[in-house]
Every structure is written in C-alpha cells, then in structure tokens.
Amino acid sequence: MLALAVVIVLSYLIGSIPSSIWVGKVVKGVDIRDHGSGNAGATNTFRLLGWKPGVVVLAIDFFKGYSSSFWVSQLAYFIGSGPVALFSFWDVDPFLRIVCGVVAVIGHMFPIYANFDGGKGMATAAGMLCGIEPVSVGITAIVFAIVMFASRYVSLASLIAAFIYPIVLLVLRYGYDWPIAGSVLIFGALVGLGIIVKHKGNIKRLIEGTENRVGSFKPATGWLNKEKQQEQN
C-alpha cells in the first residue's frame, strides 16, 4: 500500500502543474482563467495567446498524463514489496497505469498549485490513455483532428473522439485480437462517458448554434486591452 500511495501522490503533483496559467503569466502577465472562456486549458490558450503558447500548454498537459500512467506507475515496483490490485479482475499493471493516470487528470482539474481551480483535463486524459494503450489513442486522435479542422469546433471533435474511443478499443480487441485488458475496456467506456458529461454545456451551445469556433491559430487581438478597460469602468 505504501508503493501505491507514493505513486498516487506523485501523479497528483505532476497533474497539478498549471501549464496554461503559468504560460499565460509568462507570455501576457495574466491569469488565463480571467479571460476568454475562463478555462485553464490548451483550447483557451490557443484562442487567446496563439498557436505557439497553445502547443506548449498542450504538450505539457499531454505529458502530465502520459508520464503518470506510463512511468510514474512503474515506480511502485521499486518501492516496498510492490503493488497489489484492489479488484481481482484487474491485472496489476493496467490497474497501476489507470490509477496514476486518473489521479493526474484529477490534479489537472483541481491543481494544488492554483487553488484547486484547473481545466477540463482533455489533453491530460489523452496522455493518460496513450500511456495505457497508445494505438487506440492514435486512431482517436486522427478522428479528433479531422473533425476539428473540418468544423473548427474543438468541443465537437472532443465529443466525437470520446464516443468512438471505447468503440476503437472493442474493435482492436475483438476484431484484431489486440492484447487489451478487460479493465481497460471498462475504463475506456467510463472515460468516454465522463468526457461527454463534462461537455454538457458545449452540447447545449452546439445545438443552439452559439458554440465558439477556432477561427485561426493566431492570438486573439484586442481582448486584453478591452477587458482592462471594462475593469477600469
């Protein structure tokens, strides 16, 4: 249990790194949560600061999830007598990867370094899933990119990716005999459902036609001066 506790704490601390907040302060000297959509994530960074800061935030957030599920989880084997899965139908290694990845996502959503006010966790969740089973994530990422560039709706691309991800896992396992643990199938379905539920506000705006599009990969102009004037008034 000591080994499990150590990797859980470490995964949470890694997941808590508030990349968009720190990048926003370095690039513009602002807290990105006070502007745009108010979300401390890569999408809001892309919209407000442009593609270069956005890519940096996206890469860091992705790596938080990946490093926790792929690397940090393995530290448990070198601590104490090793980890034990809590449920008999979960193999130890998938169990560790899932637990550490989920904790990293929780850290991103509720970061200790930023008063527990973080983002939605999409990029961190993608990194976590890649650390667990990369092929299914790669296929899903291609679908995400196609939908996003075709529609310019990041939320729509996220919703479709969340829906097809567990389907891709099923096809790989039962259609191509891919060695995917049953627990990963269950977890993949729960992750997909969780992402869809998390985007319920976006679903409403998509239906109403009021959802924001990604117009370009250039930083938005005038937003900082405009909001500063509003604050002064």
In tens, the pLDDT along 24-39 reads: 999 989 899 988 778 8
Measured CA to CA, the distance from residue 125 to residue 187 in angstroms comes to: 12
Measured CA to CA, the distance from residue 78 to residue 44 in angstroms comes to: 39
What's the pLDDT score for residue 69?
94
User: Residue 66 falls within a domain, yes or no?
Assistant: yes
Mean pLDDT of 219-229: 59
What's the pLDDT score for residue 87?
47
Does pLDDT of 226 surpass 80? no
* pLDDT per residue as tens digits for the range 112-121: 999 999 888 8
* Element housing 98 (H / E): helix 92-109
User: Residue 230 falls within a domain, yes or no?
Assistant: no
Measured CA to CA, the distance from residue 37 to residue 157 in angstroms comes to: 17
DSSP3 helix / strand / coil % (the chain, rounded to 5): 75, 0, 25
* pLDDT per residue as tens digits for the range 3-61: 888 899 999 999 999 999 999 999 989 899 988 778 888 878 887 888 889 899 999 99
What's the pLDDT score for residue 2?
78
* pLDDT per residue as tens digits for the range 153-206: 888 998 999 999 999 999 999 999 988 888 888 888 988 888 888 788 889 889
Q: How many domains does the chain have?
A: 1
Which pair of structure tokens corresponds to residue 85?
A: 């899965």
Measured CA to CA, the distance from residue 102 to residue 96 in angstroms comes to: 10
What's the pLDDT score for residue 83?
54
User: Residue 102 falls within a domain, yes or no?
Assistant: yes
User: Residue 112 falls within a domain, yes or no?
Assistant: yes
Q: Which residues of 131-169 are buried (b: 16+ CB within 10 A; e: fewer)?
A: bbbeebbebbbebbeebbeebebbbbbbbbbbebbbebb
Mean pLDDT of the chain: 85
User: Residue 175 falls within a domain, yes or no?
Assistant: yes
User: Residue 228 falls within a domain, yes or no?
Assistant: no
User: Residue 231 falls within a domain, yes or no?
Assistant: no
Does pLDDT of 224 surpass 80? no
Show the CA angle centred on residue 130, arms to residues 124 and 132, nearest 5°: 110
Does pLDDT of 230 surpass 80? no
Domain carrying residue 176: 2-221
User: Residue 84 falls within a domain, yes or no?
Assistant: yes
The answer to whether 74 touches 61, Cβ cutoff 8 Å, is no
Helix boundaries (H) for 28-50? 42-49
